[in-house]
Chain A
Amino acid sequence: DSGVTQTPKHLITATGQRVTLRCSPRSGDLSVYWYQQSLDQGLQFLIQYYNGEERAKGNILERFSAQQFPDLHSELNLSSLELGDSALYFCASSVAAGQSADTQYFGPGTRLTVL
């Protein structure tokens, strides 16, 4: 158990819908990262938040957005869903945005299926 929690574990929805994925980082970790794992794209970095502020952006679509709240949990919002958005979405947390190679601890993921 990494200490990172993600809810829900599974989500099945229809095209055009909007969903919210939730992540709680390990106690004491200030950084949250979101990654998408799909069969065709592999593991891709989406976005990072550090202590409530957006820190870095990766291959995140405009239909996707995220935020980190004062209690440091994070939410990833996916809207106007398409079949191609079906994937495993991971959240990871680390201590800092850091000058050192902080280990990123991964949650168990949320499996999103868009029908």
Chain B
Amino acid sequence: AQSVTQLGSHVSVSEGALVLLRCNYSSSVPPYLFWYVQYPNQGLQLLLKYTSAATLVKGINGFEAEFKKSETSFHLTKPSAHMSDAAEYFCAVSESTGRRALTFGSGTRLQVQP
């Protein structure tokens, strides 16, 4: 069984500030980990994914995430927030063996204040 916990359903940052969205996972097998972003009234767009290669993963729009096995974490960061980053962010896990379906966290809504 696998699960994802996203700490903080709402995060608010100022424009230009560091963005940190937290994700912890639980998986009985080595996981694949993903971050998706959902803008209002749109589908989910992949930001980045971890597939057991490099532990620091760079994604689109300046986002990156670091896989830390010892902490079972995959936190998403961006050095400087833009207004356009305001959206809902979902962390997801899938099994590296067996089922490929994604198990999602509950999501974190990011607000960017001017």
Q: Are A2 and B51 in contact (CB under 8 A)?
A: no
A106-B45, A109-B43 known; A101 and B99 CB under 8 Å?
no
What mask results when residues 55 to 98 of chain A are scored 1 for a CB within 8 Å of chain B, else 0?
Answer: 01010000000000000000000000000000000101010011
- Any chain B CB within 8 A of the CB of A43? yes
Residues of B at under 8 Å CB distance from A?
32, 34, 36, 42-46, 49, 51, 90, 94, 96, 99-107
Q: Are A108 and B42 in contact (CB under 8 A)?
A: yes
List residues of chain A with CB within 8 A of the CB of B36: 106
Q: Are A103 and B100 in contact (CB under 8 A)?
A: no
Pick the 10 closest A-B CB pairs, nearest first. A101-B32, A106-B43, A43-B104, A101-B51, A45-B101, A106-B44, A108-B43, A56-B99, A42-B106, A107-B43
Which residue in chain A gives the minimum CB-CB distance to B52?
Answer: A101
> A20-58: which have CB < 8 Å to B?
31, 33, 35, 42-45, 48, 56, 58
